[in-house]
Every structure is written in structure tokens, then in C-alpha cells.
Structure 1
Amino acid sequence: MSIFKRIRDIATADFHEALDRLEDPVSMLKQHMRELEQQLRKAHGALANQLYIEKKYQSIINETRNLVEKRSRQAELAVEKENDDIAMLALEDKLVNEAKLNACREQYQQIKSQTDLLCGQIDKLRAAYEELQTRKLALISRLNVAKATADIGKAAASFNPEFTVQGFNKAEDQALRLEAKAEASQYGLVKSNSIDHVHLNDQVEAELSKMKERKSVTV
């Protein structure tokens, strides 16, 4: 059937080789998957019609079989009552419906075979879709790894160990300079405070001596 034409293309080795050669194989794969999805929808629509026809034929077969059985009983009853005219009419209708029943059964079997064939083709189409789905995931994984590897390669190519070591040395030297400057400024403050404290003690002792002298004079 025409709705399954894409299966042959997708199943060929050339198709898979083409995917590997493309710059953007994922896009091509997605396009084919969209086409397969459309074909699957059409196939399921065709299957729905087939199943409907099957059910209609099954209903006709059941009705016709019941009518044949009914005409057979009517003919037997008419014979028992010795009503040959009614019996002949019943038998005639029975024969007509038996022929119809046989024809319907034959057509039903043909339709059933077509339905089975359609189901088999849908299974193939679904298998092809699942194969593409798996292949798409594998391709995405491969492309992600390839891109990451390329990015790492670019970073490694632009990396200069000597320049980096020099940069660290400069940073460490700058840190040492800042630390030394901070220590020097603290040292100046501590020394200044110490000098002021010594001078203050001298003044206090001098004042104490003066007070003692005044007190001794007063006494």
C-alpha cells in the first residue's frame, strides 16, 4: 500500500549512511519520524475502516444465518401442515439467503485477510518508527559528546601553562606585598602607642614626686 512506501527507504543501509554523512542528521531524522507519524495515523485510519467493515459483514452474516434457520423452520412447519405453497416459498427464500450467506462468508474472509495484512504492515511501520527513535537518541548522545570534546579541545589548545603559572606568581607576589604593607602599618601604630605610653608614665611619676614634695613641706 502507498502509505507504507517510506518503510523501504528507511530500512535501507543507504538511508543510515546518509544520516552519518549529514551535518545535521538529527534534523533529517526528525523529519523522517514526522513522516512516519503521518503514515501511522493514516494506517490506523485505514485499520479502523477495515474493522468497521468486518463488523458490518459479521452483523450481515449473523442476520442472514438467523433468517436461513427461520425459513427452514417455517418450511418444516408448513410441510407438517401440508401447506406446500408456504413451504415452497419458505424454502425458496432459504436457498436465496443461503447463497447470500456463503457469499458474505467468503467476502468476510477476504476482508479479514486484508485486515491481517494491514496489521502486519502497521507493525513494520511502528518498528521502523521505534528504530528511528532509538537512533535519534543515539545520535543526540554522539553529537553531545562530540561537541563537549571539541569544546574541551579548544580550551586545551588555548591554555598556556607558563602564562598561567606566571599569573599565579604575580598574584601571590601582590598578596605578599599587601600583607607586608598591612603589617608595616600595624607596626607603626603599635610603636607609636608604646612611645606615648612611656612618656605618659614619666609625666605621672613627675606629678607624683611634686605632690610628695609639697606634702613634706606642709608637714
Structure 2
Amino acid sequence: MGIFKRLARITKAEMNGLLDGCENPLAMLNEYSREMEAEIEKGKKALARQLFAEKKQAVLIQETEGLVAKRTRQAKLAIEQGEEAMAKLAVQEKLVHEKQLSLYKDQYEAIKGQTQSLIEKLNELKQTYNDLQHKKVLLASRANAAQAMKQIQKATITFQTESIARGVARAEERIMMMEAEVLAGSQVYSPLATQDAAYRNLVNDEELEKELEKLKNEKVLLAAE
């Protein structure tokens, strides 16, 4: 049962760690940077396609202008040669190409406007990205400072609430042990000293002298016999 509890606790701790990692502000900023880099890359590709379309449209205009000029020359030549039908056909094609040229030029101006708008948006995106990079450096510094202060505060709190408490408990235990040793010593030696003092109080000097004199007299009588 204890093993399962430990496994559950470890799994929970790992999941919490993953969630904390997901909420890491620096990780979030890095993810935003990657997303903006992807957007910039998409913008560059779109701009490349737009520039290609603009260039293609310019070539189309140039080709159509060449056709208009060619049909104009053909019409003039046909008129000079008295070929009315040929001149009429050349003029008809010339007018068609002129209308196409006008349409192509309008389209070209629209494409150029779209290109300019795309360039401006891409530049804004790049500027935003650069601002994010500068801000990320500043925020990273602030995050590191905050993390350092958090660790210092955590260490201070741990030291005050745990280390000091354990130290005081150890000192108190040591003092209690010293007091117990003193008490144990007094229980062993004090009764003998008390008894010795009691015995001394039961015999005074006069009684001591009489008993001593008695023993001396008994010794003299024994010697005389």
C-alpha cells in the first residue's frame, strides 16, 4: 500500500511540474516568438508571390503595349496600300488590345497597392517581433530576479521555521539530559552523605570522650591481670 501511495505522490508531483512548466512566462514568450517567426515566414512567402504577380503583370502590360503598337503600324500600312479590310481588322485588334491594356494597368495598380500593403504589414510584424525580443530580454531579467528573490525568501522561511526549530529542540533535549544526569547523580550520592551527617549528629564530643576513656581503662585492667 505504501508503494502505491509513493507512486501516486510521484506522479502527482510530475504532473504539477509539467503544469508549472506550461505556465512558465519565459516558455510562453519563447512560444510567442516561434509563432511570430512562423507568421513572418508566411508573410515573406506571400510577399514573394505578390512580387511575382506584380512582375508578371508588368510583363503582360509591356507585351500588350507592343501589340497595340504593332496593330497601329499594320493599320497605317494597310491604309497606305489601300487595303481597307486589312486596315479595319488591324484597327479592330488595336482597340481590343488597348482596352486590355487599360484593364491590365488598372490591375497592375491594384496589385502594386496590395504589394505595398503587404510590405507594410510585414514590416509591422517584424517590428513587433523585434520589440518582443527586446521585451523578452527585459522580462527574462525580471523573471530571473523574481525567481532568485523567491528562492531566497523560501530559503529564509525554511531556515526560520525548520532549522531554528530543530536547533532549539536539540538544545532543549540536551539541557534536559544534563538535568537528568544531575538528578541521577544526586539520587546516588546524597543518601550516603545524609546518613553520615545524621550519625555525626547523634554523638556529641562529651559522649565520645567518655567512651574513649572507658576503653582505655578496660585496656589497663586487662594488662594488670
The aligned residue for residue 107 of structure 1 is 107
Q: Distance in 1 between matches of 2:74 and 2:23?
A: 78
Q: Distance in 1 between matches of 2:112 and 2:23?
A: 46
Deviations 1:168-189 (A, max 9, x none): xxxxxxxxxxxxxxxxxxxxxx
- Cα offset for 1:155? 7.3
Q: Which has the larger radius of gyration?
A: 2
User: TM-score, normalised to structure 2's length?
Assistant: 0.56
Q: Distance in 2 between matches of 1:152 and 1:42?
A: 44
Provide structure 2 residue ranges, at least 5 long, that are not aligned to the other structure.
Answer: 1-21, 161-225
Q: Distance in 2 between matches of 1:76 and 1:47?
A: 43
Kindly provide the amino acid, as one letter, of the partner of residue 104 in structure 2.
Answer: C
The aligned residue for residue 74 of structure 1 is 74
Kindly provide the amino acid, as one letter, of the partner of residue 130 in structure 2.
Answer: E
The aligned residue for residue 196 of structure 2 is none
Q: Distance in 1 between matches of 2:151 and 2:42?
A: 44
Kindly provide the amino acid, as one letter, of the partner of residue 76 in structure 1.
Answer: K
User: TM-score, normalised to structure 1's length?
Assistant: 0.57
Give the match's secondary structure for 1:58.
Answer: helix
The aligned residue for residue 209 of structure 2 is none
Provide structure 1 residue ranges, at least 5 long, that are not aligned to the other structure.
Answer: 1-21, 160-219
The aligned residue for residue 52 of structure 1 is 52
Kindly provide the amino acid, as one letter, of the partner of residue 34 in structure 1.
Answer: R
Indicate the RMSD between aligned Cα atoms, in angstroms. Answer: 2.5
Equivalent residues in 2 for 1:136-155 (5 A)?
A: 136-149=136-149
How many pairs align? 140
- Cα offset for 1:33? 1.1
Structure 1 residues 98, 82: closer, same or farther in 2, change over 3 A? same
Q: Distance in 1 between matches of 2:95 and 2:55?
A: 24
Equivalent residues in 2 for 1:1-219 (5 A)?
A: 24-149=24-149
Percent identity of equivalent pairs: 42
Q: Distance in 2 between matches of 1:98 and 1:73?
A: 14
Kindly provide the amino acid, as one letter, of the partner of residue 31 in structure 1.
Answer: E
